[in-house]
Amino acid sequence: MDMQVYLNGEFLPLGEAKISVLDRGFLFGDGVYEVIPVYGGKPLRLTEHLRRLDQSLANIRMQPPLTDEAWSAIFDRLISGTHDQSIYLQVTRGVATKRDHAIPAGVAPTLFAMCTPIAPPPPAGIRAITVEDIRWNRCDIKAITLLANVLLRQQALDTGAAEAILIRDGKVLEGAASNIMIVLGGTLVTPPKGAAILPGITRDLVLELAAAQGVPTEERTIDLSELGQASEIWMTSSTREILPVIELDGKPVGEGKAGPLWAVLQSAYQAYKQMLRESARAG
Ligand code: PMP
């Protein structure tokens, strides 16, 4: 049987979930989304994800369509079992009467959510390449308009790498679908929030866990030249957690394997997930 998904107030089999070709998400990429990992049946950092959704919506001149409680009730119905899964939710500006760039008034948004299993990320590490960032100037908005990200990720895949690290004006920003953290002289460094990167929920959690472990952290601009000096490079995201980059542009990073600080944060991150699973079991 098709899995059940949520579309505009209804739960229905995936194959029956249909939207109009006049949906502005389809015509203009006019919408935003979230991806929320779920462990032991419990969404990780749900409030933070919903606040980021609000922020994305506000930035594209939309109101929050549902309360946190209403979203939560939808997710509870989509989550099945206690295996690791992730919720995908998307809000578009809805169906207009004709194709026109101007934002239509009085149109109900299209709301969609589904929950799919997530596989454990590859622990051995990944290869990455640096590429020139070709995206727009509002990368803080989690917009569904992901053509540049798609092309950049594919550019990496074509060379046998798993992720593209995006460079703009000689500065290291983030991955095609992840944030970046580097270890420089024992300090964990990551670019500051702003219009050039997505404010990653995993990024914030890793910074918090690092601080709790007594690891010094710094949020500051990273020059491209510093990537070559980093003893460790990690990419963070909700579904792939903390991924060590072991080879960058064909050269080994550090010792060419997952580094010692990664092991510290990886174990703190796994413990955090386990706590969530146990709190879910406790009710
Ligand atoms: N940057 C970009 C461009 C992303 O698409 C993502 C998530 N897919 C991230 C960073 C990581 O964000 P999060 O930790 O909230 O998943």
Among residues 86, 117, 148, which one ends one of the domains? Answer: 117
200/227 same-domain check: yes
- Ligand 1 mean position, distance from CA 1 (Å): 31
- The DSSP 8-state label assigned to residue 16 in this structure reads G
Q: How far apart are CA 15 and CA 4, in angstroms?
A: 9
Report which ligand 1 atom has the smallest distance to the Cα of 49: 15
**What domain range includes position 50?**
4-117
109/222 same-domain check: no
Report which ligand 1 atom has the smallest distance to the Cα of 238: 16
Phi then psi for residue 276, to 5 deg, are -65, -45
The closest residue, in CA terms, to atom 3 on ligand 1 is 177
- Ligand 1 mean position, distance from CA 238 (Å): 7
Angle between helices 46-59 and 201-212 (to 10 degrees): 140
Tens-level pLDDT at each residue, the chain (283 residues): 689 999 999 999 999 999 999 999 999 999 999 999 999 999 999 999 999 999 999 999 999 999 999 999 999 999 999 999 999 999 999 999 999 999 999 999 999 999 999 988 877 899 999 999 999 999 999 999 999 999 999 999 999 999 999 999 999 999 999 999 999 999 999 999 999 999 999 999 999 999 999 999 999 999 999 999 999 999 999 999 999 999 999 999 999 999 999 999 999 999 999 999 999 888 7
Report which ligand 1 atom has the smallest distance to the Cα of 35: 16
Among residues 84, 117, 150, which one ends one of the domains? Answer: 117
What residue has token string 């589904």? Answer: 114
Instruction: Report yes or no on whether pTM surpasses 0.85.
Output: yes
Q: Is residue 31 within 8 Å of residue 24, measured between CB atoms?
A: yes
Number of domains in the chain: 2
- Ligand 1 mean position, distance from CA 202 (Å): 8
182/102 same-domain check: no
- Ligand 1 mean position, distance from CA 255 (Å): 27
In DSSP terms, which residues pair with 138 in a beta bridge?
Answer: none
Please choose from 238, 239, 240 the residue to mutate so as to test ligand 1's pocket, defined by most ligand atoms within 8 A of CB: 238
CATH number at residue 165: 3.20.10.10
Q: How far apart are CA 234 and CA 221, in angstroms?
A: 16
Report which ligand 1 atom has the smallest distance to the Cα of 174: 1
131/247 same-domain check: yes
Q: Is residue 201 within 8 Å of residue 214, measured between CB atoms?
A: no
In this structure, the residues whose C-beta lies within 6 A of any atom of ligand 1 are 35, 174, 177-179, 198, 200-203, 236-238
Q: How far apart are CA 166 and CA 224, in angstroms?
A: 10
What residue has token string 């990167």? Answer: 197
- Which sequence positions are flagged as catalytic? 142
Structure-block tokens of residue 51: 């606040």
